Chains A and B, each alone.
Chain A
Amino acid sequence: MTPMQKLLQLPVNAVNIVKTVQAQAQEEARSPVLTPDSIQQNWYSAVQPEELRNLKVAGTGGGDSEERAPLEEGVTSAQTQPLRHDDLKEMLDSNKDSLKLEAMKRIVAMIARGKNASDLFPAVVKNVACKNIEVKKLVYVYLVRYAEEQQDLALLSISTFQRGLKDPNQLIRASALRVLSSIRVTIIVPIMMLAIKEAASDMSPYVRKTAAHAIPKLYSLDPEQKDQLIEVIEKLLADKTTLVAGSVVMAFEEVCPERIDLIHKNYRKLCNLLIDVEEWGQVVIINMLTRYARTQFLNPNVNESLLEESGEKAFYGSDDEEGKEEKAEAAALAKRKPYVMDPDHRLLLRNTKPLLQSRNAAVVMAVAQLYFHLAPKAEVGVIAKALVRLMRSHSEVQYVVLQNVATMTIKRRGMFEPYLKSFYIRSTDPTQIKILKLEVLTNLANETNISTILREFQTYIKSMDKDFVAATIQAIGRCATNIGEVRDTCLNGLVQLLSNRDELVVAESVVVIKKLLQMQPEQHSDIIKHMAKLTDNIQVPMARASILWLIGEYCEHVPKIAPDVLRKMAKTFTNEEDIVKLQIINLAAKLYLTNSKQTKLLTQYVLNLAKYDQNYDIRDRARFIRQLIVPTDKSGALSKYAKKLFLALKPAPVLESPFKDRDHFQLGSLSHLLNAKAGGYQELPDWPETAPDPSVRNVEVPEWTKCSSREKRKEKKVEKPFYSDSEEESGPTESADSESDSASGSGSGSESEESGSGSESEESREESESEQEDKEDEEDKRKKKKKTDRGKVKAPAVESPESEESSGAEEKNRAQKVKGRRSGSESESEEEEESESESSRSESESESESESDTDAKKKKKAPVTKPPPKQAKKESKKEKKEMSLLDLDDFEPTPSPQVTPVNNFLSSSLVTDLEGLSLTDTVMAPTTIAPSGSVKTYELLHRITGEGLGVEYCFSRQPFSPDAHMVAVQIMFTNNTNAETKNLHVEDPKLQSGMRIKEFPEIELLPPGEMVTVVMGIDFCDSTQAANFQLCTHIRKFFVSIQPPVGELMMPVFMTENEFKKEQGQLMGMNEISEKLTLGEKCQNEHGIVQRVTSAANVSRVPCGSDKECRFAGKTVSSGILVLVTVATKEERAAQLTVNCEKMVIGTMLVKDILQALTQ
């Protein structure tokens, strides 16, 4: 006996019970009308052996039974049906397995065709104990299908399964559980519950898997069991085998998707198991983890989230517009909390990435949506390739993928741009695929690729598929509205289409043209005229209506044609469609208002016709308009405003993608596809403001935790209750919190050591943040420190009055600051304000400076100055001033801003000195040094390539007044030819998206041998990407590009030592880059270092207590991100360079540059 056969062995008595019950049931089943049945049965049993054998031979294949099916259907008399079933019952009752099998096969075939076989239930159910496996399996099929209808009888089979549950063979246990749980009989709920509980702790993972499958079955049968089932799910979630993972997560999703807390402890395990789980399980797990991550981690794009409309993919461009005024606040907010990705978040992204290579489209899609919803912007790109690959799959897969791609392309256009051609349409594609591809192509269109896309569209217009052509025309319309450059081209192309023979094409074009014309009607009266002519031919109502509307709306552009059109339409009024009639009335009203002399009678006529129209809308409209426009003695107050009502300027329609804003549904979900919430859809939660405690994911036995030191650190914390207490929060908030703690701690501490203790505690936090260090002794030290800090911080509200009393005003100030930070806002803005006021002061000072240097000198509080460079500067400035004055004399028309910056340049650097000095609140000697006077100039255009025109540029390092977010670039033109150069100006800038250029005003004349200097502003978006543009003279154009060194992308920020430390404390970990170096010959002393650094980058010195360290601060011009530089000197010439910057790329490049400057 095989184990399988053992499974369904019924105890003998059970079989007997079944038999008797069955006999009764049979009797019941026979209706009194069909009494002859019994006779027939007798007759049947008499001839049974031969007959049945014949039957059997005839009916070996399923095909035969199929052939009989129509026969059976054809007869459909109540008399034949039971007869057939009797025959089946007979076979089921026989002793031969082959007969039973044959009967079961026929019954299953009946079920498959959807025929009712429920009256055979008693006969079938007793075969649950049959030894033949196939019979048994088919009996299961039958049982699962009909048990719900015949609950009492179904109960008889239960004991078989209960026995099976105890079988030593795991597969039999599993199979028994599977069938038992599939029988939807409410009465056995307790039995099922028991069985599931038992199976959930079974030794065999396969049985546990089956238990997981059984959970949703039981839940749907009896939702009251939820609490108990959740317990089982919790238990199974802890399972460590891949076999169970997928099934239990499925159960979790069906039963208690809201209990996200159950996932915490299993999160890391699930991430690590994921790759080995079977495909279907992967999909479910990934979708669940997406939701989980949304509740537990911080938005990796927090800095960009407010600016996402820009649809930018480049790392650099990611916050390109941050500088804009309206976003400045958001940027400041973002900056306050430097984003550090939770290692668990990273773990998820890392472990799902390989699954993009899965052969299963559903898995690929699941990963894609995970990346789309969770990954930092820069990393989302990886999914594009995989999604494009899916486009090769079945058309249904394509359909779903394209829907999702369409949504993605709206948010992240750049991602799919390289794959543009993969979305080209083939004539063999089904229409629905074509239209989706068109949607994607339209979304991808931008200035650079529009010409290729339009060319592609042109071929589509010729397609035989008219729906598709109509969609293409609309797509062209959308491209035209989105991309101004091609609007005219598109419009002209569409006008061409008006002469197309196909009416549908013409009609669609008219509708789109109407929308386009609405944007700039003045220039296109000829097109309107052309369209007016079309009214004779076009019959499509929508198109006719559109034309009429256009003529009415812009009747003043076509004063002659409009009345004529109205005349024609009045003639055909009665035969028009409703929508056209309404527009005729509309046109009549508008014409009456503008040109009543010519159209008065026509209007009356039309209104009269409309008055007796069948459609009440039209009658209503006619009545309404008549009252409104025709002046009568009792016309109301409104008629005065008729003109305003009808001829108001209407905003042009915005042609939007139907996929806009669809991404609030989780991508890849059914709800997203339908753009409507499907039953059971779990909303994708918004990112939390602050990260929930990540330690909940810690597990006692970190077997599979790969995630390194950070975690170890946490585990240690868990062991030390006090410690963990003090750091409930972690991640970014942790740093922010402890920040304020330490600050307030130092504030309330002893006055004399104030600054010292502050820095110390901060250093300690530095250590705690750096993830490598987990030596015991350090740990202890830190702990002690934390303890002390903690002690001080406790109940700050109580202590603050004391501290106010005891300490000076400065401390009060500080306490307030701390409070501000506590409340989770402002503090940064305070600083911002401060710096702003500083900068404004600097400006004002710079003005006064330019008036007189001596004034500025007086302002200096501190005595230490560097006279020699000052002198030099003064001289050079004078020289320049002279020169520029000369220029001014020569070229009167040149606006002054071009010249004044030259004046400002040095003076502002002087002011920076002043700033540094005056604002330092510590006692130590201010040693701020101005950036060295020698400004590096770069060549823009060599005089040979420029045919005598030489152009150089340098970064003048002063704020560009027209736009504070632009880097000022000073450009020096030299005319080396003998001829005059005229009309020097910038043309056709080719910029990375987000970059902006403020061109210098055109130089009208540059005489031979002369030189002129202008200033232009470039917003590089904090990237070192070159800005390309054309430099045009009256005869030639030169392609030039300006590439900024990273150091020029920033401007100095003035801060005190404490502020510096505070900021540095927030920019740890990933945001910190340090490098060891050996100082070069010339910069062994402090002065040398400062000079080198300030020449490499536009940063200002921050005063520092120790002479071993030089600190500098700056912020990027475009987005105002803080850049902190520290050079710590050690013995010999060794030194360590540290750069803290939220933007890692800037940080890295800056380190490289400064390193080079210092080592030379």
Chain B
Amino acid sequence: MIHSLFLINSSSDIFLEKHWKSVISRSVCDYFFEVQEKAGEAENVPPVIHAGHHYLINIYREKIFFVSVIQSEVPPLFVIEFLHHVAETFQDYFGECSESAIKDNVVIVYELLEEMLDNGFPLATESNILKELIKPPNILRSVVNSITGSCNVGETLPTGQLSTIPWRRAGVKYTNNEAYFDVVEEIDAILDKTGSVVFAEIQGVIDACVNLTGMPDLTLSFMNPRLLDDVSFHPCVRFKRWESERVLSFIPPDGNFRLLSYHVSAQNLVAIPIYVKQNISFFETGSSGRLDITVGPKQTMGKTVEAVFVTINMPKVVLSANLTATQGNYTYNPVTKTLVWDIGKLSQQKLPNLKGSLTLQCGAPKPEESPSLNIDLKIQQLAISGLKVNRLDMYGEKYKPFKGVKYVSKAGKFQCMAITIWLYIFTNKENSHLKC
């Protein structure tokens, strides 16, 4: 399936290649470079490129292009998912999936790739199995290795590959038995200029960190499982139990994993935790503009909204911004034309406000579009959908684990759109006839 893999950095250097079948010349990447040049920005490179007798399927992660070469029909998502999995494995092993990390650990990377694919077909992709086969590097181990000459490759055999629960290795031992669950919710919303909601939904995940001895069998139940509209599970979750009882029953993998990601049903109204009043206008003459933004809390259920960032992508003609913020501070990057306002905590009493003037390029026409605002925020100890974990039970093992649940709400793709004047004309014209 996957014939070869090339890793390409942002300056179009192929810094790693791996072939699972016969060797394919790296000149095949020329097709990719051609398309890349045409696309301009990295994110606009189409994931699938037809390159002569080959097909290139690529992903872009952490400023690296993972370009895989395919020779025959294969589901593109299969390859894309696999490449992302590779990137995640690197992340898992080296803490980051950057070019330097990969270059520093090129041998481990190569060993990993060797294990993950056999003849282009995924073999061992579960991180637990891989970690048994190839130990992740850490400082202590690399020191020891350099002195003793011992190696990173595990001495044991990957028994996990043989078991029916490949995600968990046998014989796990911990002195502190802990299980932590993080319920993280992201609000995706589009607000219009008046602050009313055009579209809003909540996407959530439950990330778990389970360090438990032996083979625990966990059951996690919710106070209000009906909230979860659309869910996708880690393979360890027993689907039938969920279908019938709406509880999560599973033998957890060891360590960190994503137990569940969900979507909160659309019927439940999404509480938008903040409101934004914005007014960005540009004057016809004098090449300047005015900006006035106020942010305030709304429906936060008694929790404070933290780490509020407002990011605005300004039109190209905006040269600089001269603003005053009543809270937090702002930066304007004249190269990327982005204005970032770091507000911090939102308080009920004093509403943060950013106000001032914008300088435009002289002589340039006034920009037609008013820019949209992207908002980042965080609320601790609250799942904005109201999801609550009821209890966690453990079967199969005797000890008592320490259990913890944490809730965080974040802004996902939270955007305030500007309504345009065209809209008004447009709707108005529906009835009146054009005079020409």
Contact = CB atoms under 8 A, between A and B. Distances in A.
B75 to A, nearest CB: 5
A151 to B, nearest CB: 13
A678 B239 CA distance: 36
A356 B263 CA distance: 14
Contacts of A113: 15-17
Interface stretch (A360-368, A776-784, A1128-1136): A360-368
Given A62-B106, A108-B110, A389-B230, A395 B43 contact: yes
A680 B72 contact: yes
A114 B110 contact: no
B22 interface: yes
Interface in A121-180: 132-135, 137-138, 140-141, 145, 148, 169-171, 178
A365 B75 contact: yes
A62 B149 contact: no
A357 B118 CA distance: 27
A682 B73 contact: yes
A461 B239 contact: no
Contact of B73 (A135, A216, A671): A671
B423 A459 contact: yes
A397 interface: yes
Contact of A108 (B72, B106, B239): B106
Interface string A261-282: 0000000000000011011100
Interface stretch (B271-279, B300-308, B394-402, B424-432): B424-432
Interface residues of B, number: 110
A430 interface: yes
Given A462-B422, A673-B48, A673-B76, A98 B149 contact: yes
Contacts of B142: 60-61
A526 B75 contact: no
B422 A527 contact: no
A359 B198 contact: no
A145 B198 CA distance: 56
A1148 B153 CA distance: 66
Given A96-B149, A220-B21, A526 B436 contact: yes
Interface string A182-216: 10100000000000000000001110001001101
B4 to A, nearest CB: 10
Given A60-B142, A389-B263, A394-B84, A670 B107 contact: no
B284 interface: no
A721 interface: no
B26 interface: yes
A426 interface: yes
A399 interface: yes
A4 B133 CA distance: 11
Contacts of B47: 396, 399-400
Interface in B208-265: 229-235, 239, 243, 258, 261, 263
Interface stretch (A487-495, A1054-1062, A1084-1092): A487-495
Chain B interface helix/strand/loop/mixed: mixed
Given A112-B109, A141-B110, A674-B50, A247 B121 contact: yes
Nearest to A287: B75
A777 B53 CA distance: 65
B17 A112 contact: yes
B166 A278 contact: yes
A278 B142 CA distance: 33
A1128 to B, nearest CB: 39
A94 B27 CA distance: 37
Nearest to B133: A137
Nearest to A404: B77
Interface string A486-506: 001100110110001110000
Interface stretch (B343-351, B364-372, B384-392, B403-411): B364-372
A669 B415 contact: no
A389 B261 CA distance: 10
Contacts of A112: 16-18, 106, 109-110
A501 B425 CA distance: 16
Interface stretch (B155-163, B172-180, B285-293, B353-361): B155-163
A936 interface: no
Contact of B368 (A61, A134, A462, A493): A462
B313 interface: yes
Nearest to B369: A462
A105 B149 CA distance: 12
A2 B155 contact: yes
Nearest to B434: A492
A529 B436 contact: yes
A410 B106 CA distance: 47
Contacts of A530: 436
B336 interface: no
Interface residues of A, number: 122
Nearest to A104: B107
A678 to B, nearest CB: 5
A421 B232 contact: no
A568 to B, nearest CB: 19
For A360, A364, A421, A495, which residue has the most chain B Cβ atoms within 10 angstroms?
A360
A57 interface: yes
B313 A427 contact: yes
Contacts of B74: 670
Interface string B175-218: 00000000000000010000000110101000000000000000
A96 B150 CA distance: 11
Nearest to B123: A213
A389 B78 contact: no
Contacts of B310: none
A550 interface: no
Given A108-B107, A459-B419, A357 B232 contact: yes
A351 B417 CA distance: 43
Contacts of B14: 114
A458 B81 CA distance: 35
Given A60-B146, A101-B151, A527 B434 contact: yes
A395 B47 CA distance: 9
Contact of B103 (A63, A170, A401): A63
A529 B435 CA distance: 11
Contact of B71 (A424, A529, A679): A679
B413 interface: yes
A354 interface: yes
Interface string B58-71: 11100000000011
Nearest to B190: A424
A1 B203 CA distance: 51
Given A60-B145, A213-B121, A678-B55, A463 B369 contact: yes
Given A458-B426, A673-B48, A678-B73, A357 B149 contact: no
A97 interface: yes
A142 to B, nearest CB: 10
Nearest to B103: A66
A563 interface: no
A679 B72 CA distance: 5
A243 B105 CA distance: 31
25 contacts: A98-B149, A141-B110, A148-B22, A170-B162, A181-B119, A206-B161, A210-B118, A216-B119, A220-B21, A279-B125, A279-B235, A385-B229, A395-B43, A396-B80, A397-B81, A400-B80, A426-B190, A461-B420, A464-B316, A492-B434, A526-B434, A668-B77, A670-B70, A674-B55, A679-B73
Given A243-B162, A385-B229, 15 more contacts: A63-B103, A112-B16, A171-B157, A182-B118, A217-B119, A280-B78, A357-B239, A397-B84, A426-B190, A461-B420, A463-B369, A492-B434, A500-B368, A680-B72, A680-B73
Interface of A: 2-4, 57, 60-63, 65-66, 96-98, 101, 105, 108-109, 111-114, 132-135, 137-138, 140-141, 145, 148, 169-171, 178, 181-182, 184, 204-206, 210, 213-214, 216-217, 220, 242-243, 247, 250, 275-276, 278-280, 283, 287, 354, 357-362, 364-366, 385-386, 388-389, 392, 394-397, 399-401, 421-422, 424, 426-428, 430-432, 454-455, 458-459, 461-464, 488-489, 492-493, 495-496, 500-502, 526-527, 529-530, 668-671, 673-674, 676, 678-682
